[in-house]
């Protein structure tokens, strides 16, 4: 008994008392110096474990001397500024491209494609099946008839049409591509049997399928009021699925499926044939998890058009909790759907890209990082499971993106582990934070604005500024790159959320094939820091002109959304760009009404300008010499007013002689003003608050241009065409009648129609 007691005493002294004594007497008095070698090892090991050892740190000499000349030198960035975010463009797609209740526009993915020969950031979404929208959800309808989604909807992220809607590149059923992308779409297989969030089973090639039928133009039939019951079905000829068979084999399989599904219908249905196939496990994430349960998968599968197929790409991760000396991962910023969320690990690599064919469910696991020892071990154990990335179909690997979840973990760790000096690390000097929130807001009528999270829903305390896929010309580079970007702000207090601090740095991860995976941190001078994204968003909301637009457009029957402000590095300067979208409470289709630019001028004041187009806002900040090619990035097919584009009165500032006399210009503007009021009146009768507000704003812009024209005419001593009528007192009155020269005069409306929207 004494021996046992002595062992217990030794255990307590050696395991608790001695370490505590050494810590208090020897370590704590000179803790920083004694901990130094261990801190150095921890920094080096943590960087290595999370793929951060080779981060290039670049000094970004932020200046406030941005000009139209610098914009012209950085057209790769300026022509690709992102106006849409996935959450808002998804609502637009749903309003215009779902067509039927049994279709759903799913998650919107950001990728890049060659559009008219130029790299373009594109927002792509599948038109998937929505079984909850089937009006008569019988077993036959749910499992035999409505079996697949169809086609994709896509649009450039940097453009809008004259109504503020996306300029669609692919749309409708059958898929109708814009000519600038037709070669890419070509003979694309549009049917989607395997996708995101698909549950349950379907049985294809049954008696209720018509193998000879063509898919009709659903867009046209929906517009003509065709019933949703008039559905043209297709047949499945993919290799996946379990064939039912005939005879005893067929009976046994039907009985087995009836037991598995808990439904008698597969056994007794007269619609099944021997060649009918049962498609199972149609959710792409659960599908890849079943073949590689030892991998963790990203929360965001993304759809790719390549090699005539629709393929879902899912980033896969190898992880370990046993990397020596490395810090445990901070997974708090991850989406809860991520395979990394809640997992304990201190090593991670994105060594595998998994793909699932949307038509036949074929799974391929491409190894993209041969240096990862874990994937090397898995390849030895399951050799036939993996494929070399060099064997990927033509063009598919070009669409591989740097993964979001890995970047989220890396940026969370980098807030501390960018510090290389052990003393600074120990004392917490120069710690950063990812900004809290997104800077996005939504308001309806006079309600207070609601802050939005990355998913477009109400902000939660855990939401941080998301990483953004951007097509841009990185500082010091001549060519555009497709990168992930995330900002860091200063962390001033222990536990500070950093939500209202200044921009300290930003980090990019390259997705281009030749430079894939390159990480760069751009460091700003701590003595001269610009506003962070939340401060920039606050400046925008406080601007008087923005406030005027809010009061005019954000009524009780509209919903206004301010997208997350995009950080745009241009040369050695920074811009914040934010889209202002308006949707009716009935139509729920958000349209970009205005684009807002926030630029901090020398002296520290923010210059916030708002216009109906990106170039229009830039012209207000930087003058008329802003490159006209930027008009394509967010001006749409027509602008609400020439003034927004910096054109002023027709012919002015363009270097060309006016093609109209002053009188002809006046007459044209009056006609446009009358038409704008007529359109506003029609919108009011239809109850379309958004169109009504847009037309009233258009009328106000035209009236302002008309007044400027008359001021110009007065300054020149003539308000009429040469050789025509005299001045206003010489025969042209606002009340009508004829002038001395015989030309008619038009009454100029000075108020909107008496009909009010919603009346």
**666 shares a domain with 543:** no
Q: Does 727 score more than 70 pLDDT?
A: no
Given 611, 638, 664, which residue is the final one in a domain? 611
pLDDT tens-digit readout, 435-474: 988 889 998 876 788 988 887 888 888 788 989 999 999 9
Tell which wins on pLDDT, 400 or 717. 400
Query: CA-CA distance, 237 to 690, in Å (whole number)?
Result: 46
Residue 66 within any structural domain of the chain: no
**584 shares a domain with 448:** yes
Alpha helices in 519-596 (DSSP H): 533-542, 544-553
Q: Does 720 score more than 70 pLDDT?
A: no
Given 587, 611, 635, which residue is the final one in a domain? 611
Is residue 577 within 8 A of residue 568, CB to CB? The reply is yes
Given 413, 448, 483, which residue is the final one in a domain? 413
Q: Could you tell me the residue range of the domain that residue 42 belongs to?
A: 2-49
**11 shares a domain with 31:** yes
Residue 90 within any structural domain of the chain: yes
Confidence of residue 140 (pLDDT cuts 50, 70, 90): very high
**405 shares a domain with 524:** no
Residue 430 within any structural domain of the chain: yes
Residue 340 within any structural domain of the chain: yes
**395 shares a domain with 326:** yes
Please give the helix or strand (H or E) that residue 615 lies within, else none. Answer: helix 614-622
Whether this model's pTM surpasses 0.85: no
Q: Does 731 score more than 60 pLDDT?
A: no
**361 shares a domain with 481:** no
Alpha helices in 489-570 (DSSP H): 533-542, 544-553
Confidence of residue 539 (pLDDT cuts 50, 70, 90): very high
Residue 74 within any structural domain of the chain: no
pLDDT tens-digit readout, 541-599: 999 999 999 998 998 888 999 999 999 999 999 999 999 999 987 777 899 999 999 99
Structure-token pair, residue 415:
């807030």
**269 shares a domain with 290:** no
Separation in Å, CA 264 to CA 249, 258, 267, 268, 519: 17, 5, 6, 6, 56
Strands 573-584 and 468-472: unpaired
Residue 68 within any structural domain of the chain: no
Q: Does 407 score more than 90 pLDDT?
A: yes
Q: Does 493 score more than 60 pLDDT?
A: no
What is the total count of domains within the chain? 6
**32 shares a domain with 97:** no
Is residue 68 within 8 A of residue 627, CB to CB? The reply is yes
**754 shares a domain with 736:** yes
Residue 495 within any structural domain of the chain: yes
Separation in Å, CA 627 to CA 66, 77, 78, 81, 618: 14, 12, 9, 14, 10
Structure-token pair, residue 42:
């921890």
Query: CA-CA distance, 353 to 393, in Å (whole number)?
Result: 13
**667 shares a domain with 562:** no
Closest CA to 154 of 99, 78, 97, 218: 97
pLDDT tens-digit readout, 84-123: 999 999 999 999 999 899 999 989 999 999 999 999 999 9
**589 shares a domain with 514:** yes
Report how far Cα 698 is from the mean position of its chain's Cα atoms.
29
Residue 61 within any structural domain of the chain: no
DSSP of 222-279, one letter per residue? Answer: HHTT--TT-PPP-----S-SEE--SHHHHHHHHHHHHHHHT-SHHHH-TT--TT-EEE
**126 shares a domain with 163:** yes
Torsion, CA 600, CA 410, CA 461, CA 434, rounded to 10: -20
Is residue 65 exposed (0-12), middle (13-18) or buried (19+ Cβ within 10 Å)? exposed
pLDDT of amino acid 172: 92
pLDDT of amino acid 455: 78
Structure-token pair, residue 151:
């086609």
Q: Which residue's entry shows tokens 């979840």?
A: 405
Closest CA to 174 of 165, 163, 162, 182: 182
């Amino acid at each position: 008994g004494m021996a046992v007691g002595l062992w217990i005493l030794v255990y307590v002294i050696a395991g608790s008392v001695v370490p505590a004594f050494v810590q208090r007497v020897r370590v704590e008095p000179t803790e920083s110096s004694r901990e130094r070698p261990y801190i150095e090892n921890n920094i080096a090991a943590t960087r290595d474990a999370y793929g951060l050892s080779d981060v290039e740190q670049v000094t970004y000499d932020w200046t406030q001397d941005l000009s139209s000349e610098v914009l012209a030198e950085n057209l790769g960035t300026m022509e690709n500024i992102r106006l849409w975010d996935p959450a808002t463009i998804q609502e637009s797609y749903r309003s215009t491209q779902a067509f039927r209740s049994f279709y759903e526009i799913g998650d919107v993915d950001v990728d890049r494609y060659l559009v008219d020969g130029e790299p373009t950031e594109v927002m792509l979404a599948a038109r998937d099946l929505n079984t909850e929208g089937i009006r008569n959800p019988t077993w036959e309808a749910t499992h035999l008839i409505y079996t697949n989604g169809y086609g994709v909807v896509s649009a450039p992220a940097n453009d809008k049409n004259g109504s503020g809607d996306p300029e669609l590149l692919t749309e409708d059923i059958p898929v109708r591509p814009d000519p600038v992308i037709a070669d890419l779409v070509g003979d694309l297989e549009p049917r989607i049997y395997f996708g995101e969030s698909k549950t349950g089973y379907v049985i294809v090639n049954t008696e209720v399928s018509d193998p000879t039928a063509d898919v009709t133009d659903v867009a046209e039939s929906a517009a003509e009021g065709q019933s949703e019951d008039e559905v043209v079905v297709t047949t499945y000829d993919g290799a996946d699925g379990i064939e039912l068979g005939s005879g005893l084999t067929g009976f046994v399989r039907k009985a087995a499926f009836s037991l598995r599904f808990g439904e008698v219908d597969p056994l007794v249905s007269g619609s099944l044939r021997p060649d009918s196939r049962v498609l199972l496990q149609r959710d792409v994430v659960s599908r890849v998890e079943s073949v590689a349960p030892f991998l963790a998968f990203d929360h965001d599968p993304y759809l790719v058009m390549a090699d005539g197929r629709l393929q879902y790409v899912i980033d896969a991760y190898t992880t370990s909790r046993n990397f020596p000396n490395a810090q445990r991962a901070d997974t708090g910023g991850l989406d809860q759907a991520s395979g990394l969320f809640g997992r304990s690990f201190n090593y991670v690599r994105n060594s595998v890209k998994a793909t699932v064919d949307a038509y036949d469910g074929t799974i391929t696991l491409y190894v993209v990082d041969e240096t990862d020892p874990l994937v090397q071990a898995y390849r030895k154990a399951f050799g036939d499971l993996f494929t070399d990335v060099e064997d990927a179909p033509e063009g598919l690997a070009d669409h591989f993106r740097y993964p979001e979840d890995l970047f989220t973990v890396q940026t969370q760790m980098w807030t501390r582990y960018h510090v290389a000096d052990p003393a600074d690390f120990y004392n917490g000097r120069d710690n950063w934070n990812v900004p809290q929130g997104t800077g996005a807001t939504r308001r309806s009528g006079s309600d207070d604005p609601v802050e939005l999270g990355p998913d477009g829903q109400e902000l939660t305390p855990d939401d941080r500024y998301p990483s953004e896929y951007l097509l841009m010309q990185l500082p010091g580079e001549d060519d555009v790159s497709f990168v992930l970007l995330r900002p860091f702000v200063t962390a001033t207090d222990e536990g500070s959320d950093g939500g209202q601090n200044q921009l300290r740095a930003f980090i990019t991860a390259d997705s281009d094939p030749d430079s894939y995976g390159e990480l760069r941190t751009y460091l700003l001078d701590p003595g001269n820091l610009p506003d962070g994204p939340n401060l920039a968003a606050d400046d925008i909301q406080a601007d008087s002109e923005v406030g005027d637009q809010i009061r005019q457009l954000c009524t009780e029957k509209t919903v206004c959304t301010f997208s997350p402000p995009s950080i745009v590095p241009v040369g050695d300067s920074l811009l914040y760009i934010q889209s202002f979208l308006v949707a009716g409470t009935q139509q729920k289709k958000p349209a970009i009404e205005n684009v807002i630019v926030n630029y901090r001028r020398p002296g520290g004041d923010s210059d916030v300008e708002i216009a109906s187009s990106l170039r229009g806002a830039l012209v207000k900040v930087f003058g008329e010499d802003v490159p006209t090619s930027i008009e394509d990035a967010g001006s749409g097919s027509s602008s609400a007013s020439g003034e927004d584009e910096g054109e002023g009165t027709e012919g002015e500032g363009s270097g060309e002689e006016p093609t109209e006399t002053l009188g002809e210009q006046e007459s044209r503007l009056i006609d446009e003003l009358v038409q704008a009021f007529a359109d506003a009146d029609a919108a009011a009768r239809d109850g379309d608050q958004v169109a009504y507000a847009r037309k009233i704003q258009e009328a106000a812009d035209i009236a302002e241009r008309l007044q400027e024209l008359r001021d110009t005419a007065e300054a020149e001593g003539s308000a009429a065409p040469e050789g025509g009528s005299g001045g206003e007192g010489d025969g042209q009155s606002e009340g009508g009648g004829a002038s001395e020269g015989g030309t008619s005069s038009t009454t100029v409306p000075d108020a909107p129609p008496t009909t009010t929207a919603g009346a």
